[in-house]
Amino acid sequence: MKWPAWEDAAFYLQEPAEMYASIAAQRHAAPVFWYEPAGYPTGLWVLSKWEDQRFVGSHPELFSSRFGFAIGDASDPSTVIRQLPDWAQKKIREGNLSPAETRRAIAHGKLSMGDPNFESLMISDPPRHGQIRSILMKALRPSLVRSLKPRIAEIADEFIGEIEPDAEVDFVTTVGRIPAALMTDLIGVPREMRERFIEMASAQMQAITIDPKRDPAEAQRINKLVEEFHSYCGDLLSDRQDRAGDEDDLTSIIAGSEYDGGPVPHGMAISFMHTFVNAGETTRALLGFVAVALAEHPDQRRLVAEQPDLVANAIEETLRYYPLNWSGCRTATQDVELGGQLIHKDDYVLMAYASANRDEDVWDRPDEFDVTRSFDKDHQSFGYGEHSCPGALLVRTDAGIILERLLARFPDWELTSEPPRWANPFLQGLGTVPVKFHS
Amino acid sequence: MSDLTFHYVLDCPCGTTLTGLSEDEIVEVAFAHLREVHPDMADDYERDHVLFMARKLVRR
């Protein structure tokens, strides 16, 4: 059995059963494994077990996020340097950077929107990380998410009401558009700008996924859309700052927040808007996999339709079974022993969420999709600890309401052809999900 | 219709997973956790907030 090529998109695009067999083989034989990806300047540790990943996630003092968060951040800099802004290119070309500092230059560069002083939530550690995250969580606070429930149901009913029974439709561009519609509303984007905004925001998501094999023309297209996205967000923020509290959207909350005694820095504010969009895109991707899983398991779909109390469980099982994010990375701040292996200071550590979600020590029958599964322990699909997904509550709420409304209108659906899955070494999703809904 | 039983699960951002067999129990457990581990945040939450964040999941 060949072990996983964690850095290679092709590994994630093979048949899931083969991919998970390969992941399981490594988890059984070498749960803490020193892996040297082809073409990478240094190796990295792969943690396959749920327990080890939880340990890393709950010890930011031992495992830092400052020096990269994705496997691609450890790429050979010469293969990705053109995807970075000038300041990051200069820093890398000047040399004298350690492997950890090089990863930081790559990760910081791709997130920075051209600003070398940009402070990112994703590559910060406590206590600074907590200060940045608290601004974001003010916008995504539970009371606000709870107040959205009627609005989510209203938008869901509007979109679902447009679907013709027994006609072939694409789930991604029908039901899957509900979260993005909701999120653009919440951000304060006018309806006529909705589709363009989503396109720009998707490009931003692609831009933070460093990929040495990216086609230069595609990289150029992405960069152009990203620039447009930043410019549009900047205008929206300025507008809300000028109006000073006249609006109650998420952009206004950020525009009215403080950081270090002053307004939230421009780049940071835009990165928060990006996080809001990501919550919508994550929900879209999650719902796509829910549609596939429940079409492939009609007995389980009927069970959820008959017993709506199972909706939350079905969402969790889909997140476990189809992780949208394959992994997350940290850097050891000191020598640490884990699973009988000595991880040295500055070593890069990859937490393979796709593996932890199938760990036999945590899950019975891990390769079966089961909406009645007991979640005594949480899956790793939203990460864990300080850096867990800040939009998780909104994603779960949004997806749960949409699934409940969908099952109430269409308790039955079928796939009309195999949905094409896309994947890179960081994320996966579904391009289209052709379905027929039945009343 | 299956005879599944459910409980309430709440993942505190600090990493602790809290569970309760009823709405009252998860609220009680969550407030006890707040008082013990996050006393500075104990006044920020009300019963409704806890119930909203808790997920009703299958219990074996």
**3-class SS letters over chain A:** CCCCCCCCHHHHHCCHHHHHHHHHHHHHHCCEEEECCCCCCCCEEEECCHHHHHHHHCCCCCEECCCCCCHHHHCCHHHHHHHCCHHHHHHHHHCCCCHHHHHHHHHHHHHCCCCCCCCCCCCCCCCHHHHHHHHHHHHCCHHHHHHCHHHHHHHHHHHHHCCCCCCEEECCCCCCHHHHHHHHHHHCCCHHHHHHHHHHHHHHHHHCCCCCCCCHHHHHHHHHHHHHHHHHHHHHHHHHHHHCCCCCCHHHHHHCCEECCEECCHHHHHHHHHHHHHHHHHHHHHHHHHHHHHHHCHHHHHHHHHCHHHHHHHHHHHHHHCCCECEEEEEECCCEEECCEEECCCCEEEEEHHHHCCCCCCCCCCCCCCCCCCCCCCCCCCCCHHHCCCCHHHHHHHHHHHHHHHHHHCCEEEECCCCCEEECCCEEEECCCEEEEEC
Q: How far is B14 from chain A (nearest CA, A)?
A: 6
Instruction: Name every chain B residue with its beta carbon within 8 A of the beta carbon of A386.
Output: 13
The answer to whether the Cβ–Cβ distance between A375 and B49 falls below 8 Å is no
Token code pair at residue A194: 């909705």
The answer to whether the Cβ–Cβ distance between B53 and A393 falls below 8 Å is yes
The answer to whether the Cβ–Cβ distance between B52 and A376 falls below 8 Å is no
Per DSSP, the three-state class of B58 is: strand
Q: How far is B51 from chain A (nearest CA, A)?
A: 10
- What is the mean pLDDT of the segment spanning A170-188? 92
Q: What residue in B sits closest to A317 (Cα-Cα)?
A: B57
Check pLDDT > 60 for residue A233: yes
Instruction: Name every chain A residue with its beta carbon within 8 A of the beta carbon of B9.
Output: 375, 378
State residue B42's pLDDT score: 80
Residue type, A349: V
Q: How far apart are CA B9 and CA A433, in angstroms?
A: 31
Q: What residue in B sits closest to A146 (Cα-Cα)?
A: B52
Per DSSP, the three-state class of B7 is: strand
- What is the mean pLDDT of the segment spanning A106-125? 91
- β-pairing verdict for A348-352 and A44-47: parallel
Over residues B23-38, the pLDDT tens digits come to 999 999 999 999 998 8
Q: What residue in B sits closest to A309 (Cα-Cα)?
A: B56
Check pLDDT > 60 for residue A239: yes
* Domain assignment of residue A409, given as a range: 124-325+381-439
| Dihedral class, residue A244 (left if φ above 0, else alpha if ψ from -120 to 50, else beta) | left
Q: How far apart are CA B8 and CA A73, in angstroms?
A: 38
- What is the mean pLDDT of the segment spanning A406-415? 97
How many beta-carbon pairs below 8 A join chains A and B?
Answer: 51
Q: How far is A312 from chain B (nearest CA, A)?
A: 7
- What is the mean pLDDT of the segment spanning A52-80? 95
Q: Which of A233-247, A382-396, A407-421 has the lowest mean pLDDT?
A: A233-247
Radius of gyration of chain A (CA): 21
Instruction: Name every chain A residue with its beta carbon within 8 A of the beta carbon of B11.
Output: 378
Over residues A350-382, the pLDDT tens digits come to 999 999 999 999 999 999 999 999 988 899 999
pLDDT-derived band at A91, boundaries 50, 70, 90: very high
- What is the mean pLDDT of the segment spanning A300-321? 97
Over residues A190-216, the pLDDT tens digits come to 989 988 988 887 787 777 776 677 788
Tell me the pTM. Answer: 0.93
State residue A1's pLDDT score: 85
Phi, psi of A416 (to 5 degrees): -100, -15
Q: What residue in A sits closest to B50 (Cα-Cα)?
A: A142
Return the sign of the alpha-carbon dihedral for residues A108, A110, A115, A121.
Answer: negative
Residue of A32 and A195 predicted with greater confidence: A32
Residue type, A189: V
State residue A115's pLDDT score: 87
State residue B2's pLDDT score: 60
Token code pair at residue A187: 């951000």
- Are A291 and A432 spatial neighbours (Cβ–Cβ below 8 Å)? no
A266 inside domain: yes
Name the DSSP class of B38. -
Q: How far is A142 from chain B (nearest CA, A)?
A: 6
Q: Does B49 touch chain A (CB under 8 A)?
A: yes
CATH of the domain at A261: 1.10.630.10
How many whole angstroms from its chain centre is CA A274? Answer: 12
- What is the mean pLDDT of the segment spanning A277-304? 95
pLDDT-derived band at A305, boundaries 50, 70, 90: very high
Closest CA to B60 of A407, A370, A403: A370
Instruction: Name every chain A residue with its beta carbon within 8 A of the beta carbon of B59.
Output: 374
Nearest to A396 among B1, B55, B58 (CB): B55
Q: How far is A206 from chain B (nearest CA, A)?
A: 28
Q: Which of A103-107, A309-313, A385-389 has the lowest mean pLDDT?
A: A385-389
Residue of A206 and A431 predicted with greater confidence: A431
Check pLDDT > 80 for residue A434: yes
Q: Does B48 touch chain A (CB under 8 A)?
A: yes
pLDDT-derived band at B41, boundaries 50, 70, 90: confident
Check pLDDT > 80 for residue A426: yes
A53 inside domain: no
Q: Does B53 touch chain A (CB under 8 A)?
A: yes
Using a pLDDT cut of 70, give the percent of chain A over it: 99
How many whole angstroms from its chain centre is CA A411? Answer: 29
Q: Quick one: A421 exposed, middle or buried, by C-beta within 10 A (0-12, 13-18, 19+)?
A: middle
- What is the mean pLDDT of the segment spanning A75-95? 92
Per DSSP, the three-state class of B33 is: helix
Q: Does B35 touch chain A (CB under 8 A)?
A: no
State residue A245's pLDDT score: 66
Q: How far is A387 from chain B (nearest CA, A)?
A: 9
pLDDT-derived band at A416, boundaries 50, 70, 90: very high
- What is the mean pLDDT of the segment spanning A71-82? 93
Q: How far apart are CA A209 and CA B38, in angstroms?
A: 36
Nearest to A307 among B2, B11, B17 (CB): B2
Q: How far apart are CA A184 and CA A276, in angstroms?
A: 9
| Alpha-helical runs (H) found in B1-60 | 23-37, 47-53
> Cis peptide leading into A37, omega within 30 of 0?
no
ipTM, interface predicted TM-score of the complex: 0.85
Domain count, chain A: 1
Token code pair at residue A100: 């950890």
Q: Collect all residues with Cβ–Cβ distance below 8 Å to A332 and sequence separation of at least 6.
A: A62, A63, A64, A343, A344, A345, A346, A347, A349
Nearest to B58 among A54, A372, A396 (CB): A372
Instruction: Name every chain A residue with its beta carbon within 8 A of the beta carbon of B13.
Output: 386, 388
Phi, psi of A361 (to 5 degrees): -75, -15
Q: Which of A223-227, A244-248, A281-285, A342-346 has the lowest mean pLDDT?
A: A244-248
Token code pair at residue A419: 């949905």
Instruction: Name every chain B residue with its beta carbon within 8 A of the beta carbon of A301.
Output: none
State residue A140's pLDDT score: 86
Q: Collect all residues with Cβ–Cβ distance below 8 Å to A14 and sequence separation of at least 6.
A: none
Q: Collect all residues with Cβ–Cβ distance below 8 Å to A194 and sequence separation of at least 6.
A: A180, A181, A184
Nearest to B58 among A57, A58, A374 (CB): A374
Q: Collect all residues with Cβ–Cβ distance below 8 Å to A242 and sequence separation of at least 6.
A: none
Q: What is the mean pLDDT of chain A?
A: 92
